[in-house]
Chain A
Amino acid sequence: MKLSFTLNDRPTEVQVDTGDEPLLWILRDTLSLKGTKFGCGKAACGACTLLVDGEAVRSCSYAVKFAEGKSITTIEGLGSEENPHPVQQAWIEEIVPQCGYCQPGFMMATAALLDKIPNPTDDDIDQNIINICRCGTYYRMRKAIHRAAELSRTNPAGK
């Protein structure tokens, strides 16, 4: 079956098998967008987090057929080197990543958080940011999330 959706602001069409395939694999393998990661395939680690109509979704547990007509944003669409999203800018300032594998999922989840709660408390962060980072970069992430909130206030994201 053929599906149409907006992907990082671009109209996109894909041919899929049954439509039950997780969106994650269509993005990574059919469309070669590797930024959204596979960590567990069981919606447990959050490495596959992206935005569907602005809401955080774990794409390993989201059938691609549900993407029909929606607006999908992946890390590749969150921002660019020339025009980084405040979350990405903060992530760079605080030198957050270590191995880097889980980071796109965290950044997407954080973008969703700041969209809903522009000035999150540490508690808000604890409740909403529940992805897993094995390298243990949470400490810097917390700082980066507050910094991103600050950056968003002074310089709202264009997206």
Chain B
Amino acid sequence: MNQQGMNLHTLPLRLAFFALISVGFAEEPAAKASSPGSNSSEEERETVHDTDFYKMMRVVMHQRCVNCHPSDHIPKQSEDAHPHHFGIKRGQTGQPNHGAKATQCSTCHQSENNDFSGVPGAPEWSLAPHSMRWEGLTAQEIAASFLDPKRNGGRDHDAVMHHMTEHPLVLWAWNPGINAAGIPREKPPVEKAEYIKAVKTWFEAGAIIPPAAK
């Protein structure tokens, strides 16, 4: 693994982590590193996915985050990721990521969740641009995508780090509200503070993307 730019202070800790990970990989050759948080065993999650990178990716790759980063032009809904009802899709003109010209996301979605209707809301509710598609990609591919200024809206690492830890639409994940049936939506598998810390630490450490487990 590339250990450049690592803080010597945390070296022993990191070595320990890497050791654990290696053990984990050795024991589970078929570990699905590309989709942390889904289909993996508890054990796997603890050994393989406790790094900053995987903590961050467990959130980023939660189905409901991916729902607004579709690989096509259709937002998805719910944990079962069905296509958004009523034929909603990315607009072709005007502000494309905000939906059809006269029936935009903001026709239904406001800057806050609505508990009466069960419609989720956050500031700037919209699809991520198509260049920021995540659906069907591995953790490594997604990370590469959001680090790439050509795809991430021209952001440098610092800007990406701030976006991922401060933007209200991102942080909405921990306040996802209740759905139309009154049932609270599932939150990401990592606590918000822990996620923010993992992201910051990962970026401070050079935003290293570990290779996929084999």
Minimum CB–CB distance from B126 to chain A (whole Å) comes to 14
Measured between alpha carbons, how far is A63 from B121 in the docked complex, in Å? 11
Minimum CB–CB distance from B107 to chain A (whole Å) comes to 5
The answer to whether A22 and B117 touch (CB under 8 A), given A56-B107, A58-B107, A128-B102, is yes
List chain A residues, Cβ under 8 A from B106.
Answer: 55, 57
Measured between alpha carbons, how far is A55 from B102 in the docked complex, in Å? 7
Minimum CB–CB distance from A65 to chain B (whole Å) comes to 9
The answer to whether A60 and B102 touch (CB under 8 A), given A116-B94, A127-B87, is no
**Of B108-116, B140-148, B190-198, which binds chain A?**
B108-116
> A117 touches which one: B86, B102, B110, B117 (CB < 8 A)?
B102
The answer to whether A41 and B116 touch (CB under 8 A), given A127-B87, A127-B100, A128-B103, is yes
Size category, A interface: 20 to 34
The answer to whether A42 and B117 touch (CB under 8 A), given A61-B110, A130-B86, is yes
List chain B residues, Cβ under 8 A from A126.
Answer: 87
Measured between alpha carbons, how far is A63 from B108 in the docked complex, in Å? 11
The reply to whether the CB of B97 lies closer than 8 angstroms to some CB of chain A is no
List chain B residues, Cβ under 8 A from A7.
Answer: none
**Of A83-91, A94-102, A107-115, which binds chain B?**
A107-115
The reply to whether the CB of A43 lies closer than 8 angstroms to some CB of chain B is yes
List chain B residues, Cβ under 8 A from A58.
Answer: 107-108, 117
| A66 nearest CB neighbor, chain B only | B110
List chain A residues, Cβ under 8 A from B109.
Answer: 61
B76-133 at interface with A (beta carbon < 8 Å) = 85-89, 94, 100-104, 106-112, 114-119
> A112 touches which one: B102, B112, B115, B117 (CB < 8 A)?
B102
List chain A residues, Cβ under 8 A from B118.
Answer: 42
Minimum CB–CB distance from B16 to chain A (whole Å) comes to 48
The reply to whether the CB of B180 lies closer than 8 angstroms to some CB of chain A is yes
Measured between alpha carbons, how far is A126 from B87 in the docked complex, in Å? 9
> B114 touches which one: A56, A63, A130 (CB < 8 A)?
A63
List chain A residues, Cβ under 8 A from B112.
Answer: 63
Interface residue ranges, B against A (CB under 8 Å): 85-89, 94, 100-104, 106-112, 114-119, 180
In the complex, besides A43-B117, A57-B107, A116-B94, 8 extra interface pairs with C-beta distance below 8 angstroms are: A20-B115, A20-B116, A22-B116, A42-B118, A63-B110, A117-B101, A127-B89, A129-B103
15 contacts between A and B (CB under 8 A): A20-B116, A21-B116, A42-B118, A44-B86, A55-B106, A57-B106, A58-B107, A61-B116, A112-B103, A113-B101, A113-B102, A127-B89, A127-B103, A128-B102, A129-B103
